[in-house]
Chains A and B, each alone.
Chain A
Amino acid sequence: MDFQSILFNALNEILSPTTAAYALAAMGLAVHFGYTGLLNFGQAAYMLVGSYSFAIATLSGWSFFAAVGLSIVLSLVLTIVLGIPTLRLRADYLAIVTIGAAEILRYIVTTTGMTEVTGASEGLIGFKGTFESLNPIPEGKYDLGTMVINEYDLWLRIVGWTLVALVALLLFLLMRSPWGRVLKGIREDEDAVRSLGKNVFVLKMQALAIGGVLGSLAGVLFVLPRSVQPGNYATTLTFFIWTILLLGGAATILGPILGAMTFWVILSLTQGVLYGLVESGIIGFITVTQVGQIRFMLVGLLLMLLVIYRPQGVLGNKKEMSFGV
């Protein structure tokens, strides 16, 4: 077993653009669940809307910023469609509706009737040009210590993590304000907040919209290092984001970032170690191809253990955020 490459591969995940995308989506979910108490089980839907609208707009000739703008606008449309019928109801209904909406959207983009637009099950490629053309970094190889990457991957990491840092700052400002105070109040007891003269519906819509926009931006960031594949937006994506959120701490700003890094490091380490053990014959009862599945079983186990033993996450305050919805 090559322990150095296993370790380096794991470390490389920490700053990968995919980790940044997951962190961003989890921050959106933190706004929904951690701060407002909205049970959104369809964060994958927001990521899907972000990815597809960015890719489709770019492929039809829109500039980078126009395409990102469309992702944001369409995520707001999704918020209105999901929010108006459900936010007046109990929290559980939002969970059911969002999980359903995410699956509906995934089936829509996968149908062969949509092949012209969404590529159906083939997905979409060839939309990176506009982002690439904005890259000020000269062509070449850049050594990060644990890996050597090209100018595109470096540019993507810089943009991705700058965005994550910026969003963390904005959320920090929001959550310490009186607006954030009302949001937390809604999480605790929305009738009490209503009786004190706050328009709970409007605030929940705002929270759903902010978290949704973050999910949509995460969708854009998620596809920049890869192609758009409908299979990526299944409910498992939502559950990974939930795992990340609960791992880091639901009612924290930095929790989702730490959670995303930890999640991907664990995935990479288990993959590397299991793969090594199987290859060197130490574990004989599973094959190399099964390793990929087994590590996701471990994710499921991790999620269960977290909810049972540390519901507040790594960074959370046990008193503030346990599983009391």
Chain B
Amino acid sequence: MSKVAKATQASLVGNLNPVPGVKKVDPILIADGVTKRYGGLQAIDVAHVEIPRNAIVALIGPNGAGKTTLFNILTGFETADSGSWSYDGKALNGKAPHLLPKLGMVRTFQLTKVLGLLTVMENMKLAALKQTGERLLASFFPFLWSRQDRALELEATDILRRFKLLEKQADFAAGLSGGQRKLLEMARALMTHPKLIMLDEPMAGVNPALTESLLDHIKNLKQEGMTVLFVEHDVAMVREISDWVIVMAEGKIVAEGLPDQVLKDPAVIDAYLGSHQDSDLGLATGRITLPTGTKSTRSGK
């Protein structure tokens, strides 16, 4: 392990052995015993997971591993069968999704949800919290909210410029390309001034030319003090920007650690590269025993 990697690990988890559910130095999001069944399928079964503050954390895993379902549960878009989870020390169980941005936690969606028939600028301004003009009675009197609206426009202009969407500000969002929509969704989430931003497949469908700038945006979020939790399939990207990687398979957290370590884990490699497609998931979830000669991060348990 390199010196830098060791330092990062120390700041995130102390000097503990990176096993699933490891305690972090300063977690921003903690989930305990979260389960969710769909009929006979155990979609989620997360014993314990902590998301370290001010880090870029990747949540990876094969299709159907439950990454998006876990996102949905943590953000209130789906209900869990059991478990508890908290953000910054505040319990989130049973909280409606619209209450979370007020606490500083915002998410994006795998299938981008831009508001197509609103302009790019309207998309941005809509996202800001605590708008006087969103109260029904105040909305009749522009003098109550127009000053705030102009301030939001300035802020939105600034963010759109950084995301290279400024020249599109007057266009309907429906007219943007897939990659631009991803950018808009991320830019829009920033209008809520989040402390934790949860990105569901930010790179899916993004043109390679835009990928670099998206990566830079995500790194900038960390520099501005935010925590980023993102779901991603692109291993190269995960390796490049994440400080910490959490691997899910069959609804469980099966590995976590520094990207270099985790991405060398044979079970994880299998999940992605499919060299033992039938055995990898069972291996990682402990349903089958390890083949001799391979070594998993779980082997310490």
Could you list which residues of chain A lie within 8 angstroms of chain B, going by C-beta atoms?
170, 173-174, 177-182, 184-185, 187-189, 191-200, 206, 319-321
Flag if A198 contacts B109 (CB, 8 Å). Answer: no
Residues of B within 8 A of A170 (CB): 140
Least CB distance from B129 to A in Å reads 5
Flag if A197 contacts B116 (CB, 8 Å). Answer: no
Least CB distance from A156 to B in Å reads 27
How far does the alpha carbon of A320 sit from the alpha carbon of B175 in the complex, in Å?
12
Residues of A within 8 A of B279 (CB): none
B 137-166 contacts with A by CB, 8 A: 138-140, 142, 145, 149
Q: Is B87 an interface residue (CB 8 A)?
A: no
Also in contact, A184 and B118, with CB within 8 A (given A170-B140, A178-B133, A196-B126):
yes
How far does the alpha carbon of A33 sit from the alpha carbon of B97 in the complex, in Å?
24
Q: Which of B96, B127, B189 has the most CB of A within 10 A?
A: B127
Q: Is B114 an interface residue (CB 8 A)?
A: yes
B 204-219 contacts with A by CB, 8 A: none
Q: Is B106 an interface residue (CB 8 A)?
A: yes
Flag if B149 contacts A206 (CB, 8 Å). Answer: no
How far does the alpha carbon of A165 sit from the alpha carbon of B96 in the complex, in Å?
39
Residues of B within 8 A of A198 (CB): 98, 126, 134
Chosen A-B contacts, 8 in total, with CB atoms closer than 8 Å, are: A170-B140, A177-B142, A179-B136, A179-B139, A181-B126, A191-B97, A195-B75, A198-B98
How far does the alpha carbon of A197 sit from the alpha carbon of B109 in the complex, in Å?
15
Taken residue by residue from 101 to 131, chain B's Cβ proximity to chain A (1 for < 8 Å, 0 otherwise) reads as: 1100011110001111110001101110101
Partner of A321, one of B98, B117, B131: B117
CB nearest to A184 among chain B residues: B118
Residues of A within 8 A of B118 (CB): 181, 184-185, 188
Flag if B188 contacts A196 (CB, 8 Å). Answer: yes
Interface residue tally on B, bucketed by range: 35 or more
Flag if B134 contacts A320 (CB, 8 Å). Answer: no
A-side interface mostly = helix
A-B contact count (CB 8 A): 106
Also in contact, A177 and B113, with CB within 8 A (given A185-B118, A185-B126, A195-B107):
no
Residues of B within 8 A of A197 (CB): 98-102, 106, 127, 129, 192
CB nearest to B171 among chain A residues: A319
Flag if A192 contacts B114 (CB, 8 Å). Answer: yes
Flag if B77 contacts A191 (CB, 8 Å). Answer: yes
Flag if B117 contacts A188 (CB, 8 Å). Answer: yes
CB nearest to A199 among chain B residues: B98
Residues of A within 8 A of B106 (CB): 195-197
CB nearest to A196 among chain B residues: B127
Least CB distance from A231 to B in Å reads 36
Flag if A178 contacts B125 (CB, 8 Å). Answer: yes
Residues of A within 8 A of B123 (CB): 185
Flag if A173 contacts B139 (CB, 8 Å). Answer: yes
Also in contact, A184 and B139, with CB within 8 A (given A196-B126, A198-B98):
no
Partner of B116, one of A180, A181, A182, A188: A188
Partner of A188, one of B101, B115, B191: B115
Residues of B within 8 A of A187 (CB): 117
Residues of B within 8 A of A189 (CB): 113-116
Q: Is B91 an interface residue (CB 8 A)?
A: no
Also in contact, A184 and B127, with CB within 8 A (given A179-B136, A192-B109, A196-B192):
no
Also in contact, A178 and B131, with CB within 8 A (given A194-B98, A197-B102):
yes
Flag if B134 contacts A182 (CB, 8 Å). Answer: yes
Flag if A178 contacts B97 (CB, 8 Å). Answer: no
Partner of A173, one of B126, B127, B140: B140
Flag if B172 contacts A319 (CB, 8 Å). Answer: yes
